[in-house]
Structure formats: C-alpha cells, structure tokens
Structure 1
C-alpha cells in the first residue's frame, strides 16, 4: 500500500516528495526483491527499508480476521495520515475517516488521543502543524488531550526533535497559523 503523507497530499491535490509504502513482506523478502537496488534497513523500534529514497515499512502484526494493514494504520498519529491506497486497484483505504476529516478541515488523532500522544508527545506539535497546513481545526477531544499532556513534551522529547517540528510548522505558507487551530479556541 501507499500510505501516509503521499495519500494525504494526493487527496489535497498536491505533489508529494514523501512516498511511503507498507508491506506484509518480511525484511529478507524485501532485500531479495530489491537485490539490484540500494536497500538499507534502518530503525530499531519500527524498522523500515529504504530503497532508492522510498521508505518501505513492515506491517505490524494484525489480529486474526483484520486486514493485514489495519494494525499499522491504527498506530499512526492522525486520521489524515492513517489512509492507504492500493497501487494496483487505486482503492482508498480509510478505516478512521481521514478523508472526511480532510473535507471538513478537521485534525483528529487516530482512536484514543491520549494513547497516540503517550507514544510520541511530538504528535501534539504535528497536530497543530497539520491543522495549520489544511487551514482547519483540531477536534475538541484531541485538543483537550494536547492541553492535558503539553507538560510532557519538553520532559520526554529531545530538543532537536522539537526544533525540527517547529521549523516545519514555521515554514508553512504565511496564511496559516499553527498556534490558533483548535476549534473554538482563538490564538
């Protein structure tokens, strides 16, 4: 599947330089498939294979009857980043309502916002950045989770990661405002 930012950008009508693929193949199978290409496996917690600049993620285990990709999409940060496109059929796979959220210009964490933030507190800044990018709002449940967890950002995340995410937010077009994006909350 093509997943993440490339799908989001496609639905926004934008070109994407961030093409990520998701596979249920094992790392050794990917190495064999791309034996004639530059193939490098990186990452400890969630290993990915980099093949000529394209990131191929290995699917996390799914439960019994669930489609093989559902567990991976469920662990993504925001609904707008938890979609996939089958490269053969071009079918959009959207188990968490990311397309509707994009149409309504709403940013929402996948499933439990507190769990998504606990996995990586930097997701709080990402939510604000994406809300600004789509000139939208953060839904109330996600906003409250950000407010309730803001104190852990500096305590748990290295300053360099925070800096890089803030630089991405500041590089948005001038018409966007990454600080005043929560529904009903003015900057």
Structure 2
C-alpha cells in the first residue's frame, strides 16, 4: 500500500488551496475518511481537516482570507469552511476530558497523537500533510487497512464507554471495509450491547441504515444477530436469511441496495409500524417500511408501479421474489383523459363521471397504458354504456311512476 497521498489529489477543489494557505503550512492535515478512502482507491466524498489552531483563531484566519465560516460545532472545536466546491469541516486537535457514553467534554491541544487517541478506530485515525502527502499513523491504522481489519484504538471497552454508538460503528465499518474480524472488538461489543439502550433511537437508526447498504451488510448483520448485539433495542430482528435473499435479488436485477427496503427484509411485517415509530423514521419511510411486504399484487409490475409508485413497487416485488423487469427506469404515465372529456361526451357532472373514469383507467392499465387514440375509444364506449344504463334507469323510474 502506498504510504503517501498524491498532494495534488484534492487541490482541484475550488477554494481548497486558499483554505490551506489560511490555516498555514504544517499546521493543518487531512484526517479520517479522506485519507483512509484515498489509500484504498475509493472516491472520498467528505474532506475533513484537523488543525492546531483553536476554533476562534480558525474563524479569524478564514475571515482574513475572505472564506465564509459557520460555527457548526465550535464548542467541540469544529468550524465549517464554506468553499465554492462544498463545505469542509475544520476541527481543532482535542482530547476528551469526560464522557458519558453519549456526549463528550473536550479540551483543545496541539498534540497530534493525543487527537488521534480519542478517535474510534485505527483506520479512522490517519492524517496526511496536504503539501507533501505524507501519512501519519499513530496506532497501526495502515497495517489494519492492509489487513481489512476494523480495530478499536486502545481498550475496546474504554472506547465503547466513551461513546456507545461505537458498537454499531464497529459493525458498519466492518461491513464496509472488513475482511478479518477483530476478536477483541467483537467481544467488547457483545459484552456492552445493552449500552445501546442509552442512545437516542435516531442515532441508532442512522448507523443501522448506513450499515444495511454496506457491501458486507448481510454477514455483519448475521454476526450481530448471533452475538445478540441488537437484542436490547431491536429484539424483533432475529434472522438475516431474508436480508441475504433480498441482497441476491438486488444484485441480480442490478438494483442499488436501499436501507429501508433492507430493513423491511429484517423485521416481521406485523412489527414494521412499531419499529418505524421506535426508530423515529420519517413518515414517508415508515409508510414505505409498512408497505414493503404487502405483496406484488395481481396486475403486473407496471400496473403496481402506476398505483403505488415505482419505489414502493420495486420494494414489494423484490421482497416477494417477483421480477422487476425494467421498472426502475420506467416512469408511470399520466392518465391521458380527465372528467371534462367525459362531460363533453354527454355525461352529467357528478359521481357518474368519476365512476366511469375509474372504469376507463382499469382497462387502460390492464392493456398496458395504450395511447390517446385507444383511450378515446375506451371513453366513447364507456360513456355510451353509461348513457344507456342511465336511460334504462330513467325509463324504469318513469314506468314505475305511471303505474
């Protein structure tokens, strides 16, 4: 593995050279995912910078350089530099003063190793000099990266005690990067799994949904179930077999994994509403989770997509083991006729128009969404039938009145 980054690798990001100049040579380094992913040859989206400067000085330096800044987490040392190419988080070196498993009180430092020591995993504690590309590794992260191993920095139990979310992060990063499971980390996560109960359900949901779309999600979730990691917060998740089947179907159909769909494969259908509420998913995601196991219907994939939307249809078809064909690239057409056209053909406004329109729509969908010429023909036939029925009803009523 190359131990240096190409110093020009990120310089094409508009505004980044000015930001680095403002922070000063040797006083700022790339850190975390940008270093890890670049070494692995993975395109990195977010760019984080660590610096020796206190946050107030960072703000002043950016102001002098006419770079807009936002104090997104200034109490914890983070200032967001708003560049034309996107935001960059600049965080002052720090160490933990106290932690309670959810929040940390930090103090700022100018010691790079001290900053690295408070991070979760060795592969996330890699730094690189922007000018030279030199990589700084204080805890064996490069070796772990080469071994595709996710390993806590220091004592795993101590790291988990600092932030209980690291239990889920251990499995998420293993699902994304890992090949060799770290036995000490796994044992610590299993021993402290009940600590997840102290976390907000939003934080749990965020990590779990990210984990579910990672390349190694199926194996990681199976391992979590085997070691009772989720039992305290999601006891309904007891088997990864349906998730494995869904992942195979997604791959075969060339469909990108989706976290809500994959969550639906893990939870019992009768528990979907309760779990969606417990995880505080958005209303749209809760509805999708509940609907995902409703089955494929009996009208065919496109008819289903027309009635419930493409996303919901793909969920239901994949989970039911039905083919999705070209559905992900298909846009349901709009019904090419409305009630006004039926009124123009002689129907009186009211419930009869809506009922006739539904009948036309049913045939139109069943015939595979034919063009306007066929729809006009269907409308002529439906209106004629409705007028005949109305005439018969009126005649019957008149006859009854005469009697």
Say whether the 8 Å CA contact 1:133–1:176 is kept in structure 2: no
CA distance in 1, matches of 2:56, 2:110: 22
- Tell me the equivalent position of 1:89: 132
Instruction: Give the Å deviation of 1:176.
Output: 5.7
CA distance in 2, matches of 1:148, 1:44: 34
- Tell me the equivalent position of 2:192: 149
Say whether the 8 Å CA contact 1:137–1:181 is kept in structure 2: no
Greater displacement, 130-139 / 83-92: 130-139
Q: CA RMSD in A?
A: 2.3
Say whether the 8 Å CA contact 2:93–2:110 is kept in structure 1: no
Distance 1:181 1:137, change over 3 A: farther
Query: Structure 1: 5+ residue runs without aligned partners?
Result: none
Instruction: Give the Å deviation of 1:42.
Output: 2.4
TM value normalised by structure 2: 0.42
Correspondence 1:1-187 to 2 at 5 A: 1-35=29-63, 36-43=66-73, 46-52=76-82, 53-60=87-94, 68-154=111-197, 156-173=198-215, 177-180=219-222
Instruction: Give the Å deviation of 1:142.
Output: 0.9
| SS across alignment from 2:94 | coil
Say whether the 8 Å CA contact 1:138–1:181 is kept in structure 2: no
Say whether the 8 Å CA contact 1:125–1:166 is kept in structure 2: yes
TM value normalised by structure 1: 0.87
The C-alpha deviation readout for 1:79-111, integer Å capped at 9, x for no partner, is 110110111121110111111111111111001
CA distance in 2, matches of 1:176, 1:89: 39
Structure with a larger share of its residues in helix: 2
The C-alpha deviation readout for 1:106-133, integer Å capped at 9, x for no partner, is 1110011111111111111111111111
CA distance in 1, matches of 2:136, 2:221: 31
CA distance in 1, matches of 2:135, 2:117: 15
The C-alpha deviation readout for 1:139-169, integer Å capped at 9, x for no partner, is 1111111011001112x11000000011111
CA distance in 2, matches of 1:75, 1:61: 6
CA distance in 1, matches of 2:138, 2:178: 23
Query: Structure 2: 5+ residue runs without aligned partners?
Result: 1-28, 97-108, 228-239, 241-403
CA distance in 1, matches of 2:223, 2:147: 13
Answer with 1 or 2: which has the greater Rg.
2
| SS across alignment from 1:93 | strand
| SS across alignment from 1:138 | coil
Say whether the 8 Å CA contact 1:135–1:176 is kept in structure 2: no
Higher relative contact order (CA 8 A, sep 6+): 1
